[in-house]
């Protein structure tokens, strides 16, 4: 199932987890991680570069790259040897879309992070891969992509449809 959280709720939850030591407590009770999937995604409505504010930039970069980066860092510290890390990127990296000058570069950074983390964690047998799905009808996509754009994407695909979250989940 899909759900949405505001940045404020996420930040407050993280602060509470760290303050209570839940991260350490979970590791003691459940053991180290075997797999981690980073499916973070934030975007804003499509608009030209010159219309983006610093707040737009900080929000999207904070969720898509900074959040993913620090999760990968912590996972590396808390993961069993031979574990798996999967980072969700976007087809907007090889196929940029006008108006996504903040979103697309953050997903490119996620792909580079996968390469770098694979080099560092590979010595422990931990694999790190990125998956770049096409347009997927998530709440975020519905909020930022126009129905016309979604229809245009459908027409450009062999199956004449866009993906659903379950399609990506099955691929991962």
Distances (CA, A) of 50 to 60, 61, 146: 16, 17, 20
9 vs 5: CA distance, rounded Å:
6
Taking alpha carbons only, the member of 65, 67, 171, 78 closest to residue 121 is: 78
Active site residues: 89-90, 103, 107
Q: How far apart are CA 85 and CA 72, in angstroms?
A: 8
Q: For 27, list phi and psi in degrees, rounded to 5.
A: -65, -40
């Amino acid at each position: 199932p899909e759900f949405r959280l505001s940045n404020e709720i996420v930040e407050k939850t993280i602060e509470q987890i760290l303050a209570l030591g839940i991260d350490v407590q979970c590791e003691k009770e459940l053991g180290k991680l075997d797999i981690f999937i980073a499916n973070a995604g934030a975007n804003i409505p499509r608009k030209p570069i010159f219309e983006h504010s610093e707040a737009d930039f900080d929000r999207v970069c904070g969720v898509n790259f900074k959040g993913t980066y620090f999760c990968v860092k912590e996972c590396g510290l808390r993961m069993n040897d031979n574990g798996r890390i999967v980072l969700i990127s976007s087809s907007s990296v090889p196929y940029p879309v006008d108006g996504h000058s903040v979103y697309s570069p953050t997903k490119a950074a996620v792909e580079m992070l996968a390469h770098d983390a694979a080099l560092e964690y590979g010595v422990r047998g931990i694999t790190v891969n990125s998956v770049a799905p096409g347009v997927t009808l998530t709440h975020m996509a519905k909020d930022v992509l126009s129905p016309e754009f979604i229809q245009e994407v459908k027409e450009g695909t062999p199956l004449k449809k866009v993906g659903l979250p379950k399609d990506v989940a099955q691929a991962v």
